Structure 1
Amino acid sequence: MSFRHPLLAILLLAGALLTLAAWSYAPGLHGGFLFDDFGNLPSLGASGPVDNLATFFRYITSGAADPTGRPLALLSFLLDARDWPAAPYPFKRTNLLLHLLNGVLLALLLRRLGRESLAPAEHDRNDLAAVLGTAFWLLHPLLVSTTLYIVQREAMLPTSFTLLGLLLWLRGRHAMLHGHPRRGLCWIAAGLGGCTILGVLSKANGALLPALALVIEYIWLQRPNPAMHELEPALSTAGSRQLPPAYRRSMQLLAGLPSLLLGAYLLHAGWSGFVHGVSALRPWTMGQRLLTEPRVLMDYLDLLWLPRSFTPGLFNDQVSASTSLWSPATTLPAVLAVLGLIVAAWCLRRKFPAVALAILFYFVGQAMESTTLQLELYFEHRNYLPAMLMFWPLALWLVGIHPLSRHIGPTRPPKAASNKPVSAALLKGALALVLLSGLALMTHASTVLWGNTHDQALLWARLNPGSPRAQANASLLEMAAGKPQAAVARLTAALPIDPDQVQLSFNLIGAHCMLGSVPASDLELARRAIFHTRDPGTLLVHWFDSSIEAATQSRCHGLDLTALDSLLDAGLDNPKLIEVNGRHQDLLYLKAHIALARHDPAAALHDFNAALAWDVRPGAALNQAALLGAAGYPQEGLAHLDRYRELQTQQAPPANGMPWLHAWVLQQQDYWPREIRRLRDTLRQDAQAKIATHE
């Protein structure tokens, strides 16, 4: 570099690029909550404001995702709110700060990797390449759907711990290679052990850290190192024969063994999926999932390598599973392309190590969410961690570094600056500026959309015409904007394509309610949908609760309690819903809710008791008894609590992991018995007051 103080110039450039990233994301900070945000964040207020140790421990152990419950992700949400409902802005602001922090950590990682393998004469250019490679990742528009999607902090935090873990591991490795085994072992244990645990406590894919370290070790570090040769010729290569035995043993224990265990777990998940089948929630088999994921991965790579301002976003339920290598026709080419990239990267790892590292790091980073685990087929946020090194080879080339195969021995002196064409350097500098500007502008355009929930929903519906979620979401926004006619037109067009989607048929009823009357055809479509649907999640309870209220108040002509009851009967006849844990209980609970609206306490108590018997839970008993009391039937509420006491021995034990710990916390706090005693006292007082009134 021609600067007198190159490090200062690089730091100024890094600061400018961080500022550019903050500017690019700023418009999106004013957007709202989306999709899974509503399924995860309300736990902030599930048992009251998190303002004391008791509620803190109940909240932090309440996670249901992964065996760990992701407690560190839950903890991070307390930075933004301690009760629910809350404003979205603080959550999005914290996500952006975390994204910028990850950019800083990535730059430090790329700098360290370059310095581990490049000659000292190339260190200044290597530092510049680290900043550029980070900027390409930091500004990439595909990452907007991770950074501004609040709940995907669960994907960002494992990335933070992975980056930190790799940095600590590299520091320990350096110490061991320079004769400090104890110090090195401490750093390696903190990086590959401690940070893996922290990553897993944020999200399960934090377990990939040891495997990613192995990829870096064998693809990038075990190569001739001209920098090391100048200091110690005996260590000029980091091949396995030259590495200290203590380092090899530490890597076998802290990287090799966890990677083998993870691989075994993924193989077991695949075997179980083939032998026992997949969850009733999924419309595909394990074989179909494994055939589909190469298509998904190639689509991800297309979005990474050919960035664009607007992507499909959060709604990708229209992605159809491959049923064979030839159906759809892109399946076999995608499988061959993925295998070809992996094999080519391995075969060319000596000649093009940076490219090989970027590709293999990407596919190992996708190993959990894109293989045998029974997750949904497609989500953009799955690229956040795997794509970290994707743009580093380009950055190295732009600054004039060609880390190709090297031979053990002294590095060749760099060519004099006068021998290098100035025009080539200027062209590369101009190209880097164009790429950075283009990425920043595309990201800014995307975040402007993320800041406008209404326009965002309409665009996603247009980009994903086959996605029921996208169409249902757009129709809700149209109704909220006072345009029920547009919602009716959208849903009427979408339902023939996906007639089993209750979210479409329910929203169509809602749109017609806004127009004054629900035709019988809407109810017939809803009955068909609820009879055939797979698990619609919490949509059933939320929609029926609001619809029962509307029917009771006669706010919607054509939608009465009899019609709603017939929909629930269709749901109870659906074997797919019966297979889903908790959904049968929801349907019986809603039947009881309708009975309450009809002022039939005996029927309500019968259905509440039946719901409780299906899945004995103290929370369900408490909620249902409270509903009976609030409706003016305290004696029935007491009877329901008595029924819970009779069924209490049938309560299923909590699952291992965080559910068990959560149950233990509640037991230590005497939470459920205390709440039930409190409700029982209230119901007794109400019953006595009711008797006194009648007397």
Structure 2
Amino acid sequence: MQASLSASWIWPALALLAILTLTWWVYHPGLSGGFLFDDFANLPAIGASGPVTHWATFWRYITSGMADPTGRPLTLLTFLIDARNWPASPYPFKLTNVILHLCNGLLLYALLVRLGMLLDVDARRARIAAWFGCGAWLLHPLLLSTTLYIVQREAMLPATCVLAGLLLWLHGRACLRDGHLKSGPAWMIAGLGGFTLLGTLAKANGALLPMYALLIELLVLMPRHVMQSLASQRTNRVIVALFCAVPAFAILGYLAWKGVLGSIHGGHAGARPWSIGQRLLTEPRVLVDYLKLLWIPRPFTSGLFNDQFAVSTSWLHPASTLPCLLAVLALIGGAWWQRRRHPALALALLFYFAGQSLESSSIPLELYFEHRNYIPALLMFWPLGLWLADLRTLRLAKIMLLAVIPLLLAGMTHARAQVWGNVRTQALIWAHINPDSPRAQANAAEVEMGHGHPQAAAARLQKLLATEPSQTQLTFNLIGARCMAGEGLRPGDMEIALTSMRSTADVGALIAHWYERMLPVASEGRCPGLTPETLLTLIDAGLQNPNLKSAGMQQDLIYLKGLTALTMHQPDLALSDFMRALDQHVRPGMALEAAATLGSYGHPSLGLRMLDHYEQVQGNAMPPSFGMAMVHEWVLSRQRYWPHELAHLKQELTEATMSNHANATPRTSTPSPCASHCTN
């Protein structure tokens, strides 16, 4: 009996160890890859106010997040495992992500075993099905773009919290069912309440944990596992109502309200080129495409570039809009209709659509990202595992499929990981797969320039510019490629760039980073046809663009005018532009950046005047937005961070002025124009 009991646990443990080892081997080639896109927007916060080596810098860093009202501090906290300052190596970050992916696989296995037992499946079949469901999820190629994209730890940590929270809740519910009226509710509340809070502090979609629990309660537990006593029944109802139903319906209500409001008012959603109504029409097509990639996987997909995904402008344009909407409704309705006959399949489908509800509905996020499948797909392959684990029929065929499917997924994911481990190959493959994506082509062009092939980069950019003339990322990189090739600007290049600046919907941080590279080139005459005066015409075109009228964007552009004036030896004009930029959106970070820049160019007395102007207008500063921004502002105030920085810079500029440094030769390199992207 004891030997039989040991064997029943040893073989599943070995099988699970094998799938985890295979996953590690599959992902290992991707660990040599680099940082990507949003990594550069988020990770430099680690060293923005100094190395995170003591409590003061720790609190400044942990409260610096700008995504979601919460700022995602739990995710920021885990980045400190990998680095305490910036710049840093990408390898430790990617390694931690892969380890977290493996831990999520372990938690998923435990949850699937538990769910299988709750469906009254025998223990052997439940473990085989859990092994398959967990293995297919761990090895699926679609999820690699979450795991190896460092910043998407934001999507992985909520999965950890969801899995741990559901396990604790199910444990507590079992205790309550057995009559433990104190420990049972404590475990349930810790699972649902505690891990919903933790998940939300990692990313907003962690708030969907109550919705997942409610689905499990309705589809699996209520029909089969009724509480044995009246007190247990009442306690369970109260906990489910307060910690499952109320949060779940509050989120659904909020999403519905946003959708109705957006559809009524119409218009574009902020800087997006589509309206909320168009987004709601488009997302069913996105969800169908996700499901195709999950069930008909392939090693190479569009990856991080989906800006070419066509927006649905009506029920029939594109033609797939209405069929996809009907398909999504049919899957949801069919799952609910078949919930008693096929509870595992119903739960997997409804779990998937619940997981997509926040990011694929009425909130104006970008239309398509592969990482949005990481949590929703947790249960996706488990129903197939339950069918394959039932070896009473088609025994040989099912055993073969249990082995072959994970190996096929592993092969595809390994091939994809090899691409993710090579920045140049990755960029070129993405550009080939996404020929109509401006982001993909601009990224490939930057990589080609980085490898000494500016002519190839220019040809790539010019080809897409014929159909995407408003894309500044194409026009700016084309100018950079021309300059790098040594041939200078061609007739029409600047006119194309001006056209894009006049019509672009948003330039984000692109213009600042591009200026950082190109202003020294223009001021030193290293690129025929590119001068500080021509760069100023680009800035002026942006200032007249009706899409770039936000205070932050206007501040960025005016700041760059001041920076250009400095390179043209017009310090008084630069000071005027810096002051005008500060008046757009009063922030201490911008004021200190401008003052320091004036000092670094040999004009410390003007830097002092810039600080004097800030002290005059600092009362016009906008209060921080609700959420973590308010906490961050409180931390900075408590530490007297800005007064200290202001006093320190004033002292340096005063000493420089007294030492007659104002007549020193201006520096030739350009400081980073942070403008509205500075730490506040």
Q: Is the 8 A contact 2:445 2:457 kept in 1?
A: yes
Q: Is the 8 A contact 2:290 2:370 kept in 1?
A: yes
Q: Is the 8 A contact 1:280 1:534 kept in 2?
A: no
Asked if 1:211 is matched to 2:211, the reply is yes
SS in 1 for 2:659: helix
Whole-angstrom CA distance in 1 between matches of 2:522 and 2:264? 46
Instruction: Give 1:270 shift.
Output: 2.0
Q: Is the 8 A contact 1:273 1:285 kept in 2?
A: yes
Larger CA deviation: 216-225 vs 528-537: 216-225
Q: Is the 8 A contact 1:223 1:239 kept in 2?
A: no
Instruction: Give 1:267 shift.
Output: 2.2
2:450 aligned residue: 480
1:197 aligned residue: 197
Instruction: Give 1:556 shift.
Output: 1.2
Larger CA deviation: 238-247 vs 304-313: 238-247
Q: Deviations over 1:660-685 (max 9, x none)?
A: 00000000000001101111111111
Instruction: Give 1:11 shift.
Output: 0.5
What are the equivalent positions in structure 2 for 1:612-651 lying under 5 Å apart? 612-651=582-621
Whole-angstrom CA distance in 2 between matches of 1:610 and 1:588? 7
Q: Deviations over 1:275-321 (max 9, x none)?
A: 55553310001110000000000000000000111111001000121
Asked if 1:395 is matched to 2:385, the reply is yes
Q: Deviations over 1:248-269 (max 9, x none)?
A: 1111011111112212221232
Whole-angstrom CA distance in 1 between matches of 2:252 and 2:592? 43
Instruction: Give 1:132 shift.
Output: 1.2
Asked if 1:273 is matched to 2:262, the reply is yes
2:498 aligned residue: 527
Whole-angstrom CA distance in 2 between matches of 1:682 and 1:78? 32
Whole-angstrom CA distance in 2 between matches of 1:691 and 1:666? 32
Of 2, 5, 12 in structure 2, the residue corresponding to residue 10 of structure 1 is 12
Instruction: Give 1:634 shift.
Output: 1.0
SS in 2 for 1:48: coil
Asked if 1:258 is matched to 2:247, the reply is yes
2:93 aligned residue: 91
AA aligned to 1:346 is W
Asked if 1:373 is matched to 2:363, the reply is yes
So what's the TM-score if we normalise by structure 1? 0.93
Aligned pair in 2 of structure 1 residues 556, 535: CA closer, same or farther (>3 Å)?
Answer: same
Whole-angstrom CA distance in 1 between matches of 2:574 and 2:281? 48
1:491 aligned residue: 461
Instruction: Give 1:239 shift.
Output: 11
Whole-angstrom CA distance in 1 between matches of 2:662 and 2:524? 30
2:669 aligned residue: none
Whole-angstrom CA distance in 1 between matches of 2:339 and 2:233? 23
Instruction: Give 1:484 shift.
Output: 1.1
Q: Deviations over 1:111-165 (max 9, x none)?
A: 111112215xx11221121111100101000000000000000000000000000
Whole-angstrom CA distance in 1 between matches of 2:577 and 2:213? 55
Instruction: Give 1:449 shift.
Output: 0.4
1:104 aligned residue: 106
Instruction: Give 1:48 shift.
Output: 1.1
Whole-angstrom CA distance in 1 between matches of 2:503 and 2:351? 42
1:293 aligned residue: 283
Q: Deviations over 1:28-87 (max 9, x none)?
A: 000001111111111111111111111110000000000000000000100001111110
Larger CA deviation: 500-509 vs 549-558: 549-558
Of 353, 370, 373 in structure 2, the residue corresponding to residue 363 of structure 1 is 353
Q: Deviations over 1:442-483 (max 9, x none)?
A: 000000000011011111111111110000000011111111
Larger CA deviation: 254-263 vs 593-602: 254-263
Asked if 1:282 is matched to 2:272, the reply is yes
Aligned pair in 2 of structure 1 residues 584, 166: CA closer, same or farther (>3 Å)?
Answer: same
AA aligned to 1:273 is G
Whole-angstrom CA distance in 2 between matches of 1:644 and 1:157? 41
Q: Deviations over 1:6-27 (max 9, x none)?
A: 2210100000110000000000
Whole-angstrom CA distance in 2 between matches of 1:573 and 1:447? 44
AA aligned to 2:195 is C
Instruction: Give 1:547 shift.
Output: 1.0
SS in 1 for 2:378: helix
Whole-angstrom CA distance in 1 between matches of 2:552 and 2:381? 45
2:233 aligned residue: 244
Q: Deviations over 1:425-450 (max 9, x none)?
A: 12211111110110000000000000
Asked if 1:560 is matched to 2:531, the reply is yes
SS in 1 for 2:313: coil
Q: Is the 8 A contact 2:604 2:662 kept in 1?
A: no
Q: Is the 8 A contact 1:520 1:558 kept in 2?
A: no
Whole-angstrom CA distance in 1 between matches of 2:594 and 2:163? 47
Q: Is the 8 A contact 2:281 2:313 kept in 1?
A: yes
Whole-angstrom CA distance in 2 between matches of 1:542 and 1:678? 27
Larger CA deviation: 654-663 vs 684-693: 684-693
SS in 2 for 1:636: helix
SS in 1 for 2:443: helix
1:66 aligned residue: 68
Of 421, 428, 432 in structure 1, the residue corresponding to residue 398 of structure 2 is 428
SS in 2 for 1:201: helix
Aligned pair in 2 of structure 1 residues 2, 446: CA closer, same or farther (>3 Å)?
Answer: farther
Whole-angstrom CA distance in 2 between matches of 1:288 and 1:468? 21
2:148 aligned residue: 148
Q: Is the 8 A contact 2:141 2:299 kept in 1?
A: yes
For the aligned residue pairs, the C-alpha RMSD in angstroms reads: 1.8
Whole-angstrom CA distance in 2 between matches of 1:223 and 1:692? 81
Q: Is the 8 A contact 2:71 2:201 kept in 1?
A: yes
AA aligned to 2:496 is L
Larger CA deviation: 191-200 vs 551-560: 551-560
Aligned pair in 2 of structure 1 residues 442, 265: CA closer, same or farther (>3 Å)?
Answer: same
> Percent identity over the alignment?
53
Whole-angstrom CA distance in 2 between matches of 1:291 and 1:6? 50
1:548 aligned residue: 519
Of 289, 303, 306 in structure 1, the residue corresponding to residue 293 of structure 2 is 303
1:466 aligned residue: 436
Larger CA deviation: 478-487 vs 372-381: 478-487
1:385 aligned residue: 375
Count of residues paired in the alignment = 660
Asked if 1:46 is matched to 2:48, the reply is yes
AA aligned to 1:523 is M
1:417 aligned residue: none
Instruction: Give 1:181 shift.
Output: 1.8
1:409 aligned residue: none
Q: Deviations over 1:640-676 (max 9, x none)?
A: 1111111111000011110000000000000001101
SS in 1 for 2:652: helix
Unaligned runs of 5+ in 2: 665-680
Q: Deviations over 1:355-401 (max 9, x none)?
A: 11110000000000000111000000000000000000110111107
AA aligned to 1:43 is A
